[in-house]
Amino acid sequence: MSKPVVLIAEELSPATVDALGPDFEIRQVDGTDRPALLEALADAHAILVRSATKVDAEAIQAAPSLKVIARAGVGLDNVDIKAATTAGVMVVNAPTSNIISAAELTVGHILSLARHIPAAHAALAQGQWKRSKYTGTELYEKTLGIIGLGRIGALITARLQAFGVNVIAYDPYVTSARAQQLGVQLVTLDELLQQSDFITIHMPKTPETTGMISTDQLKLMKSTAYIVNVARGGLIDEDALYEALVSGEIAGAGLDVFVSEPPTDQKLLSLENVIVTPHLGASTDEAQEKAGVSVAKSVRLALGGELVPDAVNVAGGVIDPYVRPGIPLVEKLGQVFAALAASSPLTSVDVEVRGELAGYDVSVLKLAALKGIFTNIVSESVSYVNAPLLAEQRGIEVRQITDEVSEEYRNLITLRGALSDGTQVSVSGTLTGTKQIEKVVEINGYDVEVPIAAHHIVMVYTDRPGIVAVYGQKFGEAGINIAGMQIARREAGGEALSVLTVDSPVTDDILADVARVIDSSLLREIDITEA
């Protein structure tokens, strides 16, 4: 059996390849060579990139076997997440791999601005001894303003507090308790701009944050203040920053990121009071190795059929070990549910989790249910990534219900849905015994206990003597071996539900013949596809 193909499109650390291990066929391609990339993607199951390779809708369409796109870094500007999600392709990155490197570069910019280190070096290298020109300022007892008090902001805080710096911050999503824990005072953005001697910005780039520091904000800053951006180009309006630097409204700036990279406008770079670096925030050996190893581990999980809970286009969270065994069970229940609901379009699905499981984060079970429901009824590949999107596109309302009370079983998971013809469908399952056997324990209100197998037949008919012999004979004549059978009924002579476990698929002709002979109100074959 051939190994899954993992395509490495840019130079990554040797530790990345080591972390992938021997289970994959590793191929290399120059991701910037577009024709070569598209050709290499034809049979790739995963692709690992950094920032130069564009994994857009065209690239994703060229890769019918693709399961995961891994960006060995933080930003995902070069990945079309929407196209990946529609195709059911998981997108993973390494969001924490460079936080120390970015924090240290920020501190480096602040120190360089305070002491004019780059300019002093350049002058001395040219034989100019200008001690008085490059008189700087101490950080001690100055005020640092951090815009965005996330993980990087917290690291910068810890490092600069050692210099005796007073730290204030603006972040609408950080609680006062968290700020107090870090020794930081939360203020408004205007207050931060007015009070700070040094300002550093660490916000994601969104339509709301693009250009958030522009002319009006720069006018609020002290004329002796410096501003640093190692986060994302465009958070600071470059034209407004140039005017503020030239006019002396602020003392200087340190920039690692730009609107266009490399910068097409050289005017900022030519100013003496600007320090620039070529997007070096993640450019350390340690950060590159962390990023590569992190996404390699995610690729292993994704290609091994495991859910990567922190994938950027998968809803969910960290999966508790107690919840994990329920994932394949719920996927199979979803397939049973879809087969039972085949008579009419589905309008809503409730995923009910009862028992001890209800005390855990079971959001992944809703994803598993949707993946199972759509696995055999849509033409496109279904994954944890696009299953919610498939439900949304079909107007299916999806809810999750939890209840720590389960009267008969330690844990019980039920999928309950409404169809457009007004009927309802339900199927329940659980894991039993020390071997955690997957069982169906309820179908449409009938109590059963059937171990889940590859092939089942579900029939509903009027209970009467000899009926079992009738359909048993029909299946026997067709060469269908019945491996197991369970019959449930609410009362003698009423409707009965029979669940057969059979050794092989059954043709539509045989099913139609059996349905006619026993006059069934429901007859469905259920073929379970393993994840």
* Residues labelled as active-site residues: 232, 261, 279
Q: Where would I find the beta strands (DSSP E) of 96-197?
A: 143-147, 166-170, 185-186
Q: Residues 203, 209: contact at Cβ < 8 Å?
A: yes
Q: Residues 225, 251: contact at Cβ < 8 Å?
A: yes
Helix axes 117-125, 99-115, angle to 10 degrees: 60
Strands of the sheet containing 446-451, edge to edge, are: 397-403, 346-355, 411-419, 424-432, 437-443, 446-451
* Residue 404 CA to its chain's centroid (Å): 28
What whole-number distance in Å separates Cα of residue 366 and Cα of residue 362? 7
Q: Residues 456, 501: contact at Cβ < 8 Å?
A: yes
What whole-number distance in Å separates Cα of residue 310 and Cα of residue 419? 33
Q: Residues 425, 385: contact at Cβ < 8 Å?
A: no
Q: Where would I find the beta strands (DSSP E) of 286-436?
A: 346-355, 397-403, 411-419, 424-432
Helix axes 285-303, 99-115, angle to 10 degrees: 160
What whole-number distance in Å separates Cα of residue 105 and Cα of residue 230? 8
What whole-number distance in Å separates Cα of residue 243 and Cα of residue 248? 8
Q: What is the rounded (10 degree) CA torsion for 52, 55, 56, 58?
A: 120
Q: Which of 493, 446, 485 is nearest to 465 (CA)?
A: 493
Q: Residues 226, 218: contact at Cβ < 8 Å?
A: no
* Residue 10 CA to its chain's centroid (Å): 22
Q: Residues 376, 338: contact at Cβ < 8 Å?
A: yes
Is 313 strand, coil or helix?
A: coil
Location of structure tokens 């091994």: 304
Q: Residues 493, 463: contact at Cβ < 8 Å?
A: yes
Going from the C-alpha of 169 to that of each of 144, 145, 146, 490, the distances in angstroms are: 8, 5, 5, 66
Residues whose CB is less than 8 angstroms from the CB of residue 335 and which lie 6 or more positions away in sequence, other chains included: 372, 373, 375, 376, 526, 527, 528, 529
SS3 of 346-380: the string is EEEEEEEEEEHHHHCCCHHHHHHHHHHHHHCCCCC
What whole-number distance in Å separates Cα of residue 388 and Cα of residue 372? 11
